[in-house]
Amino acid sequence: MAEYEYEYDQEYMGQEDEWEREGLLDPAWERQQRKTFTAWCNSHLRKAGTQIEEIAEDFRNGLKLMLLLEVISGERLPKPDRGKLRFHQIANVNKALDFIASKGVKLVSIGAEEIVDGNTKMTLGMIWTIILRFAIQDISVEESSSKEGLLLWCQRKTAPYKNVNVQNFHTSWKDGLAFCALIHRHRPELIPNYHELRKDDPIGNLNLAFEIAEKYLDIPKMLDAEDIVNTARPDEKAIMTYVSCYYHAFSGLQKAETAANRICKVLRVNQENERLMEEYERLASDLLEWIRKTIPWLENRTRDNTLPGTQHKLEEFRDYRRKHKPPKLEDKSKLEIIFNTLQTKLRLSNRPAYMPSEGKMVADIANAWKKLEFAEKGFEEWLLAELRRLERLDHLARKFKHKSDIHEEWTEGKEVMLQDTDFKNCNLYELKALRKKHEAFESDLAAHQDRVEQIAAIAQELNDLEYWDVVTINARCQRICDQWDRLGALTQKRRNALDEAEKILERVDQYHLEFAKRAAPFNNWMDGAKEDLVDMFIVHTMDEIQGLIDAHEAFKMTLPEADKEFNAIMMCITEVQRIVQQLDLKGVTINPYTNITGEELKQKWQDVNNLVPQRDSVLQQEMVRQQNHERLRRQFAQKANSVGPWIEKQAEAIATIGMQMQGTLEDALLKLKNMEAQIMAYKPNMDELETYNQAIQESLVFENKHTQYTMETLRVGWEQLLTSIARTINEVENQILTREAKGIPEEKLQEFRASFSHFDKDGSGRLEPNEFKSCLISIGYNIQDGDKGDAEFAHILGVVDPNGSGYVTFQAFLDFMTRETTDSDTAEQVMQSFKILAGDKPYITQEELRRELPPDQAEYCIARMTHYTGPDGIPGALDYISFATALYGESDL
């Protein structure tokens, strides 16, 4: 017979010695142990689909004893003997006892023969040894183990309950309140009226605890309330066995709670990241949609060909610049901040980098914004060019009308005159007079050829510039040209007729002829002078108006010679009148060679002399207007030459703080916040420039030689400054977030920043791949030459730049240098947490998720988990393994 000793609990070995001496157990204790140990064994054997009825009988053949040890240990025992003879049974029991001994247990006075013979005392002792080894030994609370640990656990859990005082495992449990307190402490919803329980109702309290434990905690009823109440000192082994079931049940709940907390933490992070992703997607969609709708408006070149309509479009464009675009610029900056913050949070929580939807990357938004600004610039340039064109068209239309009116006034009656046959009824002298008169007309006609060409040239320019009423212009120009062709043909026809009659008639009046010859060009000169003196002009600079003034002064210098010519021509008339008076001639006072009279010449000459001072006044007024334009140019230039360098200086200062910051990150953030406030306080200067620019545009001033800055370049610089300060603040905040999350010392941050800045040659805050590689080598990374080194660096670059932007920011560089210092959850940890909640099953149910997790996060998991497809699944089973893997890998999340 094999004999064993059990070293774990000397107190209970003392009780076994008492059994040995007396040869029997206290009947009440034996009854309690039989029931308790039988129920405890059945709670495990039912997992194998069997149970025992009589503890001393059912373990005699050793088969169920071996099966019990396999279930509670999770290990395989040697193959049992299947024979029914006594030695087969002893062999099976010895295999079980050998297995118990292999676990460090020494039994005394317990042999296989006693168990096979159905010795109740020895059988109960053996089962108690198994309970101590597999149910109580591993209990550890505050460095106390086994019985002391279990007792300390009961005391800690029932400490808040004033009517419970656990000091042992017998009398402290008789009133049942200790059992109820343990249940209420861990599952208060199971005994919501605990405060109503009374110490004087022990049977009611015990039965309540036993029934709830069996129904809700899967702990079988191992004790009888009446036995405990009616026994002066209940059996400690029975009580300890039953209480140990409470410990294991509630320790499993604690593990489930810990697992649930871990999952909640992971899900909260994921939900916040999804919220940021959804906000990014929404803002990106709204901004891109606004850009998509705005660009066609900016690219629309539909003309109404009116100056007021174009000026109205310019005002709408200014309203777009002042009211509609600034909020969208803020949305663009907010998008960049959300994107950077989201990427930082994903890196810190060991998540894959966020890839926005196709077409909504930060680079896509930046490209769309560039297209918007390009269209905006083109639209403004087109509007200003359209204003110039319409102003030019208006000027040409009025000039065309003026010259056409003069020409049509001159040609009025000329066709009738050329068709007259008066030469058939005149004498020689009259014929010669008619001939000379016709020659004078031909001279006059040739002189007017230039005016007709000017009218045609103006009409052509109006056509080229797409004048709105070009049909009327073309019709009038065509009438003038057709009439001019007819005049040319009629003139040649009349000249031929006069030449034919010249052989017959000849007489000439020298004075009339002299008058006609000299009066015609002088008359044309005066017509041209009058036309020039009232000619309309358009200028844009003081040099242009000064040129007109100089030309006018040169014209005035020719007036003395013209005055001499006028007196000479008028002398011819005077001589004719003198001869007529002297000789008393009739019919010779009328000059047969010209229709120009002395009074007409005198009136035109007087008109020319009167128009000269009027022209002086008009030119001086225009000079004053151009001087005012010059004042506007200088006013704008003075302000622009101040604002432009200030913007450039602030941009340089932001870049310097971002990459060469002195002191802590908080100091740099404070500086950037102060600079942001200064920039916003500086905005009235931009508004003042906008006012100056509006005044310049309304005055149709287009060039400014006093400054290199235009309103467009200043606007772009201002917008870039606002974007730069917001981006830099966000980068510093993310660096603070990284430092706090990873516990990086400030000195280490400065060291990383110094290394990064050394290779950031252009101060852009970004490293090209070759610069990043040199930086890694300089701080000790051994990157080999050749294909192997290139593959290694490509892997590193894929980690630092997951979006493939082609550059490395300081934040990405910092994350890479500190990537191994973060204590973050892993997919394996989350899977293990779900496994605990699922009770070691490879799947989990909706009921288990709703029981263990808060409602919103339970529903979150249910909505995203796929159905479990394994062969051991049940209807409604969910696959938590693929869900946990998706949280940390390539995923729609």
The pLDDT tens digits of the residues spanning 324-366 come to: 889 988 988 988 898 899 888 888 888 888 889 888 888 888 9
- pLDDT computed for residue 819 by the predictor: 66
Dihedral pair phi/psi, residue 504, rounded to 5°? -100, -45
34 and 165 both lie in a single domain: yes
**Contact of 888 with 827, CB cutoff 8 Å:** yes
Task: Give the phi and the psi of residue 767 in degrees, each rounded to 5.
Answer: -110, 130
Q: Which of 367, 396, 425 is the endpoint of a domain?
A: 396
Same domain flag for 249 and 350:
no
User: Model confidence over 134-188: pLDDT tens digits?
Assistant: 767 667 666 666 778 888 889 888 888 988 999 998 888 989 899 999 999 888 8
Q: What is the DSSP letter of 844?
A: B
Return d(Cα 402, Cα 413) in angstroms, integer. 19
Q: Give the tens place of pLDDT for each residue, 519-542.
A: 889 889 888 888 888 888 787 777
**Does residue 508 sit within a domain?**
yes
Gap between the Cα atoms of 261 and 259, Å rounded: 5
Other residues' Cβ atoms within 10 Å of the Cβ of residue 306 = 13
DSSP 135: I
Residue 382: inside a domain, yes or no? yes
* CATH number of residue 184's parent domain: 1.10.418.10
129 and 272 share a domain? no
The reply to whether 421 and 446 lie within a common domain is yes
736 touches 642 (CB < 8 A): no
| Domain final residue pick, 574, 596, 618 | 596
What CATH number is attached to the domain comprising 788? Answer: 1.10.238.10
613 within domain boundaries: no
What pLDDT score was predicted for residue 254?
64
Average pLDDT over residues 861-876: 89
Q: How many CA atoms lie within 13 A of 338 on its CB side?
A: 23
How far is residue 816's CA from residue 822's CA, in Å, rounded to a whole number? Answer: 11
Residue 610 has pLDDT above 80, yes or no: yes
Tell me, what's the pLDDT at 390?
A: 77
pLDDT over threshold 50, residue 457: yes
Query: Cβ–Cβ contacts within 10 Å for residue 893, how many?
Result: 17
Do 196 and 50 belong to one domain? yes
pLDDT attached to residue 581: 75
Collapse the DSSP code of 809 into the 3-class scheme (helix H, G, I; strand E, B; otherwise coil) and give the result. strand
User: For 479-499, what is each residue's pLDDT tens digit?
Assistant: 889 888 888 898 888 888 777
Query: 506 with 581, same domain?
Result: yes
Predicted local confidence at residue 890, as pLDDT: 44
Among candidate residues 270, 314, 310, 171, the one with its CA nearest the CA of residue 697: 314
Contact between residue 532 and residue 555 where contact means Cβ atoms under 8 Å apart: yes
d(C-alpha 507, C-alpha 525), whole Å:
29
Q: Which residue has the tokens 């089962």?
A: 127
For residues 479 and 337, state if they share a domain: no
Let me know if residue 695 belongs to a domain.
Answer: yes
Answer for the pair 533, 613: CB distance below 8 angstroms, yes or no.
no
Q: Is 8 domain-assigned?
A: no
Q: What is the pTM of this model?
A: 0.43
- Residue 505 pLDDT: 42
Mean per-residue pLDDT over the chain, rounded:
81
Q: Are 446 and 495 in contact (CB under 8 A)?
A: no
Same domain, residue pair 684 and 700:
yes
pLDDT-derived band of residue 23, with 50, 70 and 90 as boundaries? very low
Distance of alpha carbon 155 from the chain centroid: 58
Are residue 454 and residue 563 in the same domain, yes or no?
yes
Strands (E), 347-474: none
Indicate if 391 and 538 belong to the same structural domain.
no
279 in the same domain as 220? no
Give how many domains the chain has, as a whole number: 6
CA distance 159 to 867: 44
Query: Under 8 Å CB-to-CB from 241, ≥6 apart: which residues?
Result: 36, 37, 40, 128, 131, 135, 222
Sign (positive/negative) of CA torsion 510, 515, 520, 522? positive
Confidence of residue 36 (pLDDT cuts 50, 70, 90): confident
150 and 195 in a single domain? The answer is yes
- Model pLDDT, residue 646: 94
Q: What pLDDT, on the 0 to 100 scale, is given for residue 290?
A: 92
Please report which confidence band the pLDDT of residue 230 belongs to, taking 50, 70 and 90 as the band edges.
Answer: confident
- The strand pairing partners of 767, in sequence order, are 808
Interstrand relation of 144-145 and 766-767 (parallel, antiparallel or unpaired): unpaired
Domain containing 63 equals 27-261
Residue 268 structure tokens = 């909260």
| Sequence-ordered list of residues with C-beta below 8 angstroms from that of 521, at least 6 positions apart, any chain | 443, 447
pLDDT above 70 coverage of the chain, percent: 89
According to the model, what pLDDT value does residue 125 have? Answer: 83
Domain assignment present for residue 372? The answer is: yes
Average pLDDT over every residue of 267-283 = 87
Q: What is the CATH number of the domain that holds 584?
A: 1.20.58.60
The answer on pLDDT for 748 being more than 80 is: no
Of the residues 783, 818, 853, the one at which a domain ends: 818
Tell me if 615 is assigned to some domain: no
Which structure tokens are listed for 612?
Answer: 């000269």
Q: Quick one: pLDDT at residue 592?
A: 72
pLDDT value for 6 = 36
Nearest CA-CA partner of 189 in 173, 212, 168, 167: 212
63-73 vs 86-102: helix crossing angle, rounded to 10: 20
Is residue 407 assigned to a domain? no
Least confident of 373-382, 724-733, 765-774: 765-774
- What is the distance between the alpha carbons of residues 349 and 343, in angstroms, rounded to a whole number? 10
Q: What percent of the chain has pLDDT over 90?
A: 6
Residue 23, sorted as left (phi over 0), alpha (psi -120 to 50) or beta, turns out to be left
pLDDT of residue 821: 46
Smallest Cα–Cα separation from 815: which of 750, 754, 889, 739?
739
Widest distance between CA atoms in the chain: 191
281 within 8 A of 356, measured Cβ to Cβ? yes
Q: How far apart are CA 438 and CA 442, in angstroms?
A: 6
Asked if 368 and 441 count as a contact pair (C-beta separation under 8 A), the reply is: no
Residue 817's CB is within 10 A of a number of other CB atoms, namely 21
Find where tokens 């110039």 sit.
Answer: 388
Helical ranges in 190-324 per DSSP H: 202-216, 225-230, 236-299, 307-319
CA 759 to chain centre: 29
User: What pLDDT, on a 0 to 100 scale, did the predictor assign at position 566?
Assistant: 86
